[in-house]
Structure formats: C-alpha cells, structure tokens
Structure 1
Amino acid sequence: MGENGNRVEGFIEVEGGKIWYYVEGADKSGIPLITLHGGPGVPHDYLEPLSILSDERPVVFYDQLGCGRSDRPSDKGLWTVERFVRELNLLKERLGMGKVHILGQSWGTILACEYFFSKPEDVVSMVLSGPAMSIPQFEKDVRKLLAFLPKEKQNAIHRAEASGRFDSREYADAMRTFYSRHVCRLDPWPDCLNRALEGMGTAVYEHMYGPSEFTVTGTLRNYSCVHRLREIDVPVLLTCGRFDEATPATTELYRREIVNCEMKIIEDASHEHHLEKPEEYMEIVRNFLKKVEGHGPRKYFE
C-alpha cells in the first residue's frame, strides 16, 4: 500500500488476480463512499470528478478485475455478478471499513444492489446513477431511442446485428452518433472519459453485455433485480439525465419500488450526467449524503 498525503493506493488480491484501488481523503472522518464504475469493464477514470467529495469523507475508487490497472485474466468464468460482489466485499474488508455509502453508475448500480442484498447491514445509503437494474428494460429503452437516429445509422445497426459482424465503419459511426446523444453529450469528451475507454476491459464488456450499448448479447441480457428492490430499506438517491439511455421514465419505475428513495433528473444531460453537469450533480450527492448521515464517525485511515 502506498500513501501520498490524503491519498492511499495499492493492489488487493482477489479471486482471479489483483485489483487496483485508491482512496482520496483517506484522513477524513465522514462515512466512506465507495464508487462502482460501469461497463462491466469501463474503469474508474471517468468517475474521478467524484474525488471532490473527499473533502468530507474517504472516497474509494477501484478498477474491477479485467480492466484499467487491475489484472486481466482470460478465464471467462470469472465474469459473474456473484464474483464481482465478492470482490467488492473483499476490497471493503481489506480497507478495514465498516459501514459505507455506495455510489454506482450504470452497471455499478447492479453491483451496488447485489452487494446490498448480500450485506445490507454494511450499507448506509446508495446513490444509483444511470440505473440499469433491469437489462431487458434497458435494452427496450435503448431500442426506442435508436428509432430517432438517422435512417442510415439504424440500417447500419440492423445489418451488423443480422450478420453478427460488428467491426464495420458504419456500425462504429452509428455507435458514435448514439453515444453523443445518450451517453455523453459533451464535445469533445472529457479526458477522464477517454482514459476510461482506453483502459476498457473489452473482454468483460462483450462477455457480460455485448458489442455495444444497444446490442445486448451477453450473460446479463436477462438480468433484473426489480422484484427485489422493495427489500432495500436504506435511503437511495436515483439520478439520470433527461436524455439518458437509462431513461427518466424507467428510473421513475425504480423509484416507485424503493421504499426510501429520492430521484433527480439532470436537464440537458445524458448517461454521464456527472460529467456533463458536475457542479449540479456533486451538490445533489453531497446534500443527500449529509442528510443521510447527520454526523460523522471515527476516522477510517489514521
């Protein structure tokens, strides 16, 4: 484990290899916030702006196995929801943390919920951004959004899916058009998002999800925990962008299922609304955590 001021970083041995993590605000006394990146397989880099919250609490970032600075084993048997839950639990234990807040984005919202179902006593609250707790619903929503793309982009997607070949320039162009509308509307994309895509664990993403956001062929294609959302009894904050592929309408459906839940829609933003409207997003999250907490416990890193 290495230390640099208020930052602690290192590697932790998990099932299948080592994962890399770092903690900002390691000397702060607020309840720690663990961040869970999306994908699966898109490393933590694009969540780095959340480090601004480390002025009040430790904020934990890590690259899940298979992407970023963590090991990339070839065994596809490792790419299961259950193993990623065990990985998160081991990270938390090795960092010596008791109760925590969890912030998940996209796939990270699935991981957050599944962790809660396994260790509810350890979770103080959850922030679920761009929630995807039903992949069939997520795909259904994305398919609706595709209908608004230019016809030639839609045709390129249909041809690729019919042939099973997703390496054409036309398909890549269609992906970029969709992503610029519903994933990140900034132009150019911020450096932290570009770094995340450069460090992406494509093997994990394709195995669990598919070749793109709108072509779901992986092991998560039938995943849903909507029927269990009423089990969540800690405070939950749901956030989405107005143009999010995790649509406001579906996010509202999740809100109705969770007992103690707030929902915020970020205007003029999409899936990466924490990057598109960072000041608004951080204020919403900060206020939510403060309201949940009331007061801070002991320091977690002396």
Structure 2
Amino acid sequence: MKWIAAFAALAFATPAVAQADDPLDWSAPDQELRVAVDGGEVWVRVNGDLEADAAPAIFIHGGPGGTHTVFGGLISMADERAVILYDQLGSGMSDRGGDPATWGVERFVDELEAIRQALGVERWHVVGHSWGAALALEYAAAYPQHTASAVLGGTYISTPHWILGTNLLIRDLPDDVRDTLIACEAGRAQPGMNCDAATAAFYRAYNGRADSPPLSPAARRYFGQYNGRGFNGQIYNTMWGPSEFSARGTLVGYDGTPLLSQVDGSRILFMIGQYDEARIDTVQDFLTLTPGAEFAVVPGGSHSFPMERPVETEAILRAWLARKD
C-alpha cells in the first residue's frame, strides 16, 4: 500500500514527455479549512460548489500515512461537482499529533465524518484508494444515509487477502528477484542479495511502473506547495509494517470483507489498475460477495493508477458518480 514514494521517485526521474493537465488539475483550492479531530486538526481543501445538484466527492488517500496528492490530476472533476481532498491526521498538510495507540480504522472513519459535518454536506461520494478503500467501505457501512456511493480503488479491504496477493505476485517476477524477496522476507538473505533492489523491482511491476509518465510542471509545483510534511513512515510502520509483503502492525488482522454483505452493492465500485498490487482475481472474489457491485480496470495502470492514468481514471469516475447521484 505504500505506493506514493515509489511512484514519485519514478515520476520525477523518468525522461519522458510530461503528461498534460486540465487547467483545473493541480490547481489551488477554492476553499481551505482545518477540521478538529481526535488528536489534532486535519487539512481539507475544496474545489467546486458544495451546493451543486451533483453530490460532492471526497477522495481518501492511501498509506497509511500517505497524502492527498495522488488525486491532484482529478481536481478537474470540480466542473461537475465539488471535489474534496484532505490529508489524514499525521501526514501531509495535517497536524502530526495524535496518540499512536489510537491509529486504527475507527479513528480514521470518525475523521471522515467530522469533515462531512464541518462542510455541512448531507450526502457525498466516498472515493478511496488503497488503504483509503478500507476507510470508504467502513464509512459506507457506518453511514449509509450519507453515502451516495463508495469507490474502492486499488482495493485493500483485508490484510490476509492483501498478503496472499502480494506473495503470489512475487512469484510472477524473474527468478532472481523472486528468490531474493522470499529470502529477504524470511530473514534469510544471503551475501550478495540486494533486498532494496528486489523490492524496487516489485514496485516497478505493480506500483509505479517504469513506463509511467513523469509529473507535469503543474504537478511538480503542486507538490512543492501542498505536500506539507509528506508521507509519514511512522504511521505506515505502526499500522502496517516494514514492507508490502508482510503485515506486523495494528492492521495485521484487519478484514473488512464481512461488510461487503452489509452495504448496498449497487452503490459500490471496485476499481484497480491493470497491473495493480490488488490482484484482479482477488477483487473478483470481493465482487462476488457484493451483489450488484461493479468492477472497473484502468488500462495500463498499476496500483498508482490515479497518477499514472488520470484521464482514464477520471472518465470512469465521472460516469460512475453521475449514475449514482
């Protein structure tokens, strides 16, 4: 789930033609506010009209410990509905406060509801990515009256399923990379094995592919102005652990799949990249557990598809949100 550092490194380094932006993408917010939550204040930005007929959409970033910047190329959707971005407590532009003992799913869901109340929004779409997908599902189950739809992007909703999926993906890598990663994860790395290089190879395959377009000049400026203190590795390590391939933190036993039978499936969209860490067959199993739900695959995208393929991502989201208003 720790995608942002891997993708950003590739995006800044790749010598290719930068992707073009809509004039609204990577733009300054129409409104900024800080919302008090348990442990501090979270930074929230809004583009577009919160009073428009179309329900607003709040975008929930991954990590844990990531930032809202993954969604900067989707701000142009504000021409149809209000687009709400925020940094979860402890990362990006939000306060670094909070007791690590409270870093759990419930606290981050409460954070979402505090934002809704502060903005005076009655009903909105919750669009989650990676770890944010778990929060979107949890929110939809806890607050169905306020949920127009939930998008479970880069679908992490269960640690056991995620660990099984990433370990299956390791076996699809070249033999030397596979053997190195397996040895490194087991604490049996031999002299000459480069664990960091093998992990980077995994990322290039599934989480920020080498053929991804680099960040545009507008995106680079945005990162400089709105990335705040960036990714918070302490949150990631506390809640998840040191690597994508094994969970040792507070999320080690997390499994939100029972919620799939409790939500309105007709208002659930699973969405992943073609080469996503969230494996297609795993998400198809989730789909089976969610009657009426839909499934979208972003062509050419990895787990970082919102930044790699913003045009395709936006097209899918626009159509889905319009149908579920």
| TM-score bracket for this pair, using the shorter chain length | 0.7 to 0.9
> Structure 1 65/169 Cα, relative in aligned 2: closer, same or farther at 3 Å?
farther
Alignment equivalent of 2:72, drawn from 24, 27, 48? 48
**Structure 1 residues 189, 181: CA separation in 2 closer, same or farther (over 3 Å shift)?**
farther
Cα separation, 2, equivalents of 1:279 and 1:142: 27
Look up the equivalent residue of 2:60 and give its one-letter code: L
1:28–1:54 CA contact under 8 A, matched in 2: no
Question: What residue is the counterpart of 1:246 in the other structure?
Answer: 278
Candidates 190, 193, 199, aligned match of 2:215: 190
Q: Is 1:25 matched up with 2:48?
A: yes
Give the equivalent residue in structure 1 for 2:150: 126
Aligned: 1:220 with 2:251: yes
Distance 1:5 1:241 in 2: 27
Check 1:188–1:31 CA distance in 2 against 1; reply closer, same or farther (3 A cut): closer
Deviation at 1:189, TM superposition (A): 4.8
Whichever residue aligns with residue 77 of structure 1, its letter is A
Conservation of the 8 A alpha-carbon contact between 1:28 and 1:56: no
**Aligned equivalents of 1:190, 1:155: Cα separation in 2:** 33
CA 224–164 in structure 1, closer or farther in 2 if over 3 Å, else same: farther
Answer whether contact 1:34 1:103 (CA < 8 A) is retained: yes
Distance 2:301 2:151 in 1: 17
Rounded Cα–Cα distance in structure 1 between residues aligned with 2:241 and 2:41: 24
Quote the residue 2:21 is aligned against.
none
Please state how far the C-alpha of 1:91 moved relative to its aligned partner. 0.9
- 1:98 Cα deviation from its structure 2 partner: 0.6
| Cα offsets for 1:159-186 (capped at 9, x unmatched) | 4434499xx9932222221111101224
1:280 CA drift (Å) = 1.7
2:40–2:98 Cα contact (<8 Å) kept: no
How far off its partner does 1:88 sit? 0.8
CA contact (8 A) 1:244 1:270 kept: yes
Match among 161, 166, 187 for residue 142 of structure 1: 166
Distance, in Å, in 1 between the alignment partners of 2:131 and 2:187 is 27
1:211 partner SS: coil
The residue type paired with residue 58 of structure 1 is: A
The one of 91, 97, 102 equivalent to 1:73 is 97
C-alpha contact (below 8 Å) 2:38/2:98 kept by paired residues: no
Rounded Cα–Cα distance in structure 1 between residues aligned with 2:154 and 2:214 = 18
1:74 is displaced (CA, Å) by: 6.0
Q: Residues 38-83 of structure 1: CA distance to partner in whole angstroms, max 9, x if unpaired?
A: 0111111111112111101111000001111111126211211111
> Aligned match of 1:36 in 49, 60, 68?
60
Structure 1: distance between partners of 2:28 and 2:172 = 49
| Residues in 1 aligned to 2:159 and 2:313: alpha-carbon distance in whole angstroms | 24
Normalization by structure 1: what TM-score? 0.87
**How far apart, in 2, do the equivalents of 1:266 and 1:141 lie?**
19
In structure 1, distance between residues paired with 2:111 and 2:68: 15
Query: Is the Cα contact below 8 Å between 2:39 and 2:98 reproduced in 1?
Result: no
Worse-superposed segment, 230-239 or 84-93 = 230-239
Question: Kindly tell me: are residues 38 and 197 of structure 1, through their superposed partners in 2, closer, same or farther at Cα, counting changes over 3 Å?
Answer: farther
Q: Distance in 1 between matches of 2:188 and 2:84?
A: 39
Count of paired positions: 288
CA distance in 2, matches of 1:263, 1:123: 18
CA RMSD of aligned residues (A): 2.6
AA in 2 matched with 1:25: G
Bigger shift: residues 60-69 or 125-134: 125-134
Q: For each residue in 1:216-269, what CA deviation from the matched residue of structure 2 results, as whole angstroms up to 9, or x when unmatched?
A: 211112211112201111511111112111011111111111122111122222
CA distance in 2, matches of 1:197, 1:227: 36
Q: TM-score, normalization: structure 2?
A: 0.81
User: Deviation of residue 145 (structure 1)?
Assistant: 0.8
| CA deviation profile, 1:262-284 (whole Å, cap 9, x unmatched) | 11122222112222222222111
Judge which range, 21-30 or 229-238, deviates more.
21-30
Correspondence 1:93 to 2:93:
no
